[in-house]
Structure 1
């Protein structure tokens, strides 16, 4: 049984007054409100250091018992991306033609998506995020999905801030990813994130978001 506690240090303070805090929050919202899921990528390379810094930002996320149960696998190798696409499209064919309910397919229909996922090869990089579970070398983690979800949110924000386009892709099931990417059995796929710059003629659905009044409750 673990004993003792972490040493402590003063909590960080950004020391912003109310007006500055509102300005910073509004500027961040304005930037993030432009983030959209992109499915058409240019072949322009993405700087490795940008990906590294974005992953470093994701890894600042809070996690259950500070055990950081995540792994970010950056894939640029064309052959590996091809194999990821093949595995994803196999699962997606099953989803669209056999597993998905009519209600689910109706919800997806306005987005005009199907089992074809060329972006998994076309994007210059994929970031495949894994949950890290207990093994001989890893302790038992707590609140894994919550922790990894927060980290992914920070990753998407960091990539967007750097001017990159992203998409969250979750073929189900995703067990095929571990063997392709050489990951151990205790690492379970969470999401695949293609990363790059939008293609020259890339478009996104013209949708709107719910207002803050619809999603926020003040008591």
Structure 2
């Protein structure tokens, strides 16, 4: 093996190389697990330990990111008054979207099978609201701001792993993106270098939880081999 010289620290990396049958068995099991995940709008108020949120963020932190800058911050809220304030502010923006004409007719038609509306009552029910903020820049110890790269891509991947971690623990969530979301920075006292990215209501599904009867895109539409 060739000897490489590095100017920065490197460590050896040799993940398990599994036989193809074993690897396929594992990924089929992972697919079955992921296929059972759904976005939920009907939650139970049953408590969820803070440790669950901590482990979900640990999983999110394993995501690849531009220059390994990890440009995300997860802010977890359990206080009922703050959760209610988030609901009130989110519904103001959502009413402007649904009732004020900010959502064009084509978009409204696309949302129709989900039967969503401006009511975000589940934000008062869930034991946790976690808001992911994206960091365009990150403050450094010397007071300067470090530029981050591929922020949207990096934060999106981290949020995907966060969702999967919640699902693995038997918890449910929803990717809520009220637009605009500047009210979250104000309510949660976030600095100017962060911008709200996604709101995650987190809890157990309600006993009478229902979800739209949807089908995911088949492999024939999602994958194309070239060459």
Query: Normalising TM by the smaller chain, what interval?
Result: over 0.9
Q: What residue is the counterpart of 1:165 in the other structure?
A: 172
> For the structure 1 residues 44 and 11, does the alpha-carbon distance in structure 2 shift closer, same or farther, using more than 3 Å as the test?
same
Question: Residue 117 of structure 2: SS of its match in structure 1?
Answer: coil
Question: Residue 31 of structure 1: SS of its match in structure 2?
Answer: helix
Q: Aligned partners of 2:44, 2:107: CA distance in 1, in Å?
A: 30
Offset, 1:37:
0.6
Which aligned runs of 4 or more in structure 1 are off by greater than 2 angstroms?
135-138
Offset, 1:135:
5.3
Q: What residue is the counterpart of 2:122 in the other structure?
A: 119
Question: Residue 65 of structure 1: SS of its match in structure 2?
Answer: helix
> For the structure 1 residues 135 and 210, does the alpha-carbon distance in structure 2 shift closer, same or farther, using more than 3 Å as the test?
closer
Q: C-alpha deviations, 1:100-127, integer Å up to 9, x for none?
A: 1011011111111110101111111111
Report the count of equivalent residues. 216
Offset, 1:12:
3.6
1:188 alignment partner, one of 189, 195, 199: 195
TM-score after normalising by structure 2: 0.92
1:27 is the counterpart of 2:34? no
> For the structure 1 residues 136 and 68, does the alpha-carbon distance in structure 2 shift closer, same or farther, using more than 3 Å as the test?
closer
What is the Cα-based RMSD across aligned positions, in Å?
1.2
Within 5 Å, give how 1:44-193 maps onto structure 2.
44-97=46-99, 98-134=101-137, 136-137=139-140, 138-193=145-200
Offset, 1:201:
0.7
Question: Residue 46 of structure 1: SS of its match in structure 2?
Answer: coil
Structure 1 gap ranges (5+) = none
Question: Residue 133 of structure 2: SS of its match in structure 1?
Answer: strand
Q: Aligned partners of 2:124, 2:201: CA distance in 1, in Å?
A: 9
2:138–2:148 Cα contact (<8 Å) kept: no
Q: What residue is the counterpart of 2:19 in the other structure?
A: 17
